[in-house]
């Protein structure tokens, strides 16, 4: 297997409507030096038929409405899941989800980006179901080179089962930002300069699954899934990606994946949180965060992870 250092990547770049290809005008390379890449950035208003594949669940996952809606379901026999057709190396990815309504205790809806292998990278949203009327927990984590243990959990400021809401991952070489309906809730900065590994070399796919985790999900596993309420269903719509698509198949020269200044569509590649966004992030963290690994001194008796002093 060729190493990532020598692989030449082809990143494809879609602007606006699905699959109108446009190559960046400037061939300058400003990204990570190890990323010797032929890149094309895409912006795609998604269609589930093209952008995703159902990977498991034996008919429990369905793509509906000409590819505009995807549903996952879970019953006692099985859950279900899907993954993106493309692998991405950086992206600004939105998905709207409507979570399992009613008594969803014991169920987990996972929506995440992940690479492969034993030193994988991963960026996680997980929605832990709850009894009817009780709040879901939004669980987040970041794995870098196989190491996670970076959980932050939140309550949401709305009922995530009543309507679709937008869950976004901005992943560029400098930072990972989790947002909900456009409000940033978590930022994981690139702190390689102080020795914290940052996901930036391994392409990731988008994955999602709905499964039974009643051994731990709701109130630490004390509340079990009520199978009389099955099947449980979660829905997805309005997938939208501005992203660098990875394609190892061919390509031999190094092109740009740089956010060329002439191309505002690629601004996300160097996007940071402005002061308003930072203020909103702090406000969510103050009012809705219910667990923060960086505040869990008991869990890290040898000292908090390095990044905790830089957030």
Size of the site for ligand NAG (CB under 6 A): 8
- Whether 192 sits among the annotated catalytic residues: the reply is no
Q: CB of residue 107 vs ligand NAG: minimum separation in angstroms? A: 10
Joined together, the tokens standing for residue 197 give 């590994």
Does 296 bind ligand NAG (CB under 6 A)? Our answer is no
Does 104 bind ligand NAG (CB under 6 A)? Our answer is no
Does 43 bind ligand NAG (CB under 6 A)? Our answer is no
Q: CB of residue 294 vs ligand NAG: minimum separation in angstroms? A: 19
DSSP-based three-state secondary structure for 281: helix
Q: Which stretch binds ligand NAG (CB under 6 A): 3-11, 27-35, 142-150, 217-225?
A: 217-225
Q: CB of residue 183 vs ligand NAG: minimum separation in angstroms? A: 21
Closer residue to ligand NAG (CB): 89 or 156: 156
Closer residue to ligand NAG (CB): 35 or 137: 137
Does 224 bind ligand NAG (CB under 6 A)? Our answer is no
Q: Which stretch binds ligand NAG (CB under 6 A): 4-12, 126-134, 189-197, 242-250?
A: 126-134
Q: CB of residue 11 vs ligand NAG: minimum separation in angstroms? A: 38
Does 134 bind ligand NAG (CB under 6 A)? Our answer is yes
Q: Which stretch binds ligand NAG (CB under 6 A): 7-15, 64-72, 211-219, 239-247?
A: 211-219
Instruction: Please provide the DSSP assignment of the chain as one string.
Output: ---TTTPPEE---B-SSTT-B---S-----S-TT--EE--EEEEE--HHHHEEEEESTT-SEEEGGGTEEEEEE-SS--EEEEESSEEEEEEEEEEEEPPPS--TTEEEEEEEE--STT--EEEEEEE--STTSPPEEEEEEEBTTB----EEE--SS-TTTS-EEEEEEEETTEEEEEETTEEEEEEE--GGGT---S-SS-BEEEEEEEE-TTTSSGGGTSPP-GGGPPEEEEEEEEEEEEEEE--SS--S----S--TT-GGGGGGG----HHHHHHHHHHHHHHEEEEGGG-TTT-TT---GGGGG-
Closer residue to ligand NAG (CB): 96 or 130: 130
- Whether 122 sits among the annotated catalytic residues: the reply is yes
d(CA 42, CA 15): 6
d(CA 229, CA 232): 7
Position of minimal CB gap to ligand NAG: 134
What DSSP state is assigned to residue 77? S
Closer residue to ligand NAG (CB): 114 or 130: 130
Joined together, the tokens standing for residue 171 give 């992943």
Q: CB of residue 134 vs ligand NAG: minimum separation in angstroms? A: 3
Q: CB of residue 132 vs ligand NAG: minimum separation in angstroms? A: 10
Out of 67, 101, 135, 148, the only residue in the binding site for ligand NAG (CB under 6 A) is: 135
Does 84 bind ligand NAG (CB under 6 A)? Our answer is no
**Contacts to ligand NAG by CB under 6 A:** 128, 130, 134-135, 137, 217-219
Catalytic residue annotation: 122, 126
């Amino acid at each position: 297997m060729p190493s990532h250092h020598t692989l030449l990547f082809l990143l494809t770049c879609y602007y606006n409507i699905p699959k109108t290809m446009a190559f960046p005008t400037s061939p300058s390379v400003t990204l990570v030096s190890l990323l010797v890449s032929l890149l094309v950035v895409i912006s795609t208003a998604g269609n589930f038929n093209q952008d995703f594949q159902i990977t498991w669940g034996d008919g429990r996952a369905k793509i509906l409405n000409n590819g505009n809606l995807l549903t996952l379901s879970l019953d006692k026999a099985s859950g279900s899941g899907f993954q993106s057709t493309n692998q991405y190396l950086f992206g600004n990815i939105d998905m709207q989800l409507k979570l399992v309504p009613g008594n969803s205790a014991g169920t987990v809806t996972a929506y995440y980006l992940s690479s492969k292998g034993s030193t994988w990278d991963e960026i996680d949203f997980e929605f832990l179901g709850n009894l009817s009327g009780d709040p879901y927990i939004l669980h987040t984590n970041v794995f870098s080179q196989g190491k996670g243990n970076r959980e932050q959990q939140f309550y949401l400021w709305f009922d995530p089962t009543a309507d679709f809401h937008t869950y976004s991952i901005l992943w560029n070489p400098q930072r990972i930002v989790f947002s909900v309906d456009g409000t940033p809730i978590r930022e994981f900065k690139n702190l390689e300069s102080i020795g914290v590994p940052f996901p930036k070399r391994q392409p990731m796919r988008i994955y999602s699954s709905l499964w039974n985790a009643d051994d731990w999900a709701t109130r630490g596993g004390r509340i079990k899934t009520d199978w009389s309420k099955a099947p449980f269903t979660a829905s997805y719509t309005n997938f939208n990606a501005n992203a660098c698509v990875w394609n190892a198949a061919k390509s031999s020269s190094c092109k740009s994946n740089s956010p060329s200044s002439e191309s505002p569509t690629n601004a996300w590649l160097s996007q940071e949180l402005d002061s308003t966004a930072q203020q909103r992030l702090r406000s969510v963290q103050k009012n809705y965060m219910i667990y923060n690994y960086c505040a869990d001194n008991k869990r890290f008796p040898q000292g908090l992870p390095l990044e905790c002093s830089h957030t």
